[in-house]
Amino acid sequence: MKNVSQSIKTIGSMRRKSFPVDQKMNNLTKFKGLTPLAGFSYSKQLDIKQKRTSQILETLTDKLKGMNSSVIPDERGLPCLLERIVASPVTKGYRNTDDFSIWPGLDKNPKTVGYIMGKASNSNKIPVCLPPDDCVIVKDSHKILVSKFQQYLRNHSPLGICMDFSRGGNWRRFCVRSNDFDELMGIAILHPQKLSSKELKEEQNRLKDFFIPISQDINLKSFYFQACPGVRCTNRRAPFELLFGDEHIDEVINGTKIRITPEPFLQVNKGAAEMLYRQIIEEIEPQSDMTILDMCCGSGILAIQLAPLVEKVIGVDSCEEAIKDAKMNAQTNNITNCNFIHGTMEDYMVKISEDLYSDDLVMVVNPGSGGLPSGVVNVIRTMSNVSKLIYVSCKPEGQALKNFAHLCLPYRPNDDIQGDPFIPVKAIPFDLFPQTERVELLVSFSRI
């Protein structure tokens, strides 16, 4: 049996290699680009991710060598305490949000809905789309809705698929969201190309004629349509149009009732996310006179859980629809001490630091996979009243790792490294993505 280090090396080579795909492959092989750990026991998956997290933190130590940093590595070369990875309560069928492509499948039918994986053969450079029927991380209810949408495309829609904007075609993606009650939201997305308003309306009517009669049977509570003239569009650029059903579906996270709508970010694994939120709150050690800055706050899920424990919470997010939902969620949960701001951190960090210069602040940052811009990290460092920083990353080996190092560097004004440094105190990995190689990492920093 391979040891953990050998397993990590094997997984890395799998990720870099492009595999041909054919009908005879078993389910694990078909989806190994998406779920490369599915062939391992869950305990082995956790060991692999624990080792990977340790390697990421060792890299941080290496980055800080020779930088006169106050970070002192332990005997293992780690810059802080690394706790055991927190396991997910559910390891299969856990995803509450899926974004499927519309692309040619193994049967060469262009209207296939699923994940784009590998290549059809070594001689064919076009990747193929695999329906999620055999993918272990997708909910059965999502699979049923996807199969219905594929049936609609193949048998009812006259519109073709859009593989290249310059070559015409329309259909691009189909998204599914759900809650713990398995209530479903479908979002059909096409490129309008040269379709007239009348032709778009006709397609919307065809969708309604097909899905409304079956919506009760498959628990489809909400169905949206978006005509997006790009790769991805915000609601402001291309509005999500509600074709039928409810404007939102509801979810309860750690006792907090929240709205699920088409655009705002949503952690895909609710059970594991609840444990992550509880741990963030524990790391903050909330006090009644404390002010919390929740940067990248999304729809306010964490902020609203924190609000009863502190004096006030300020949330900032660049997604306008997320801020709208955050305000609605606060109202639903009778929260009055949250202030949610729409904008980028680059735009608002300086203003916030000026407005709150006298407050004792704790900051939570949970950016996307791209991490924080270096300018934002510099502003955080200049905010001397930030005593603690909780950084949560879904891609800690990427830009986040550079952010960690930037936070820890000593004051170097000639290199534009401003303010007093932070030191990492504790790192806790969370398995929000079983069967995949991804890991969510919480790092708690304190001010020196």
* Token duo for residue 245: 């059903």
Element (H, E) at 324: helix 320-332
Residue 134 C-beta-side C-alpha neighbours within 13 Å: 12
Nearest 5°: phi and psi at 363?
A: -115, 140
> Among 129, 175, 394, 408, which one carries the catalytic annotation?
394
Torsion of Cα atoms, 267 then 386 then 327 then 429, to 10°: 10
**Is 151 known as a binding-site position?**
no
**Is 216 known as a binding-site position?**
no
> 215: buried, middle or exposed (CB in 10 Å: 19+, 13-18, 0-12)?
buried
Nearest to 50, CA basis, from 104, 119, 101, 4:
4
CA distances from 430 to 16, 28, 82, 251, 362 (A): 24, 23, 12, 21, 21
**129 a catalytic residue:** no
> What is the residue whose two structure tokens read 């509005």?
239
- For 162, other C-beta atoms within 10 Å of its C-beta total 20
**Is 317 known as a binding-site position?**
yes
In whole angstroms, what is the distance from residue 238 CA to residue 261 CA? 15
Q: In a 3-state reduction of DSSP, which class is residue 185? A: strand
Task: Name the residue type at position 125.
Answer: K
Task: Name the residue type at position 179.
Answer: N
Angle (nearest 5°) at CA 21 between 158 and 15 = 115
Binding-site members for S-adenosyl-L-methionine are: 267, 317, 366
Catalytic residues: 394
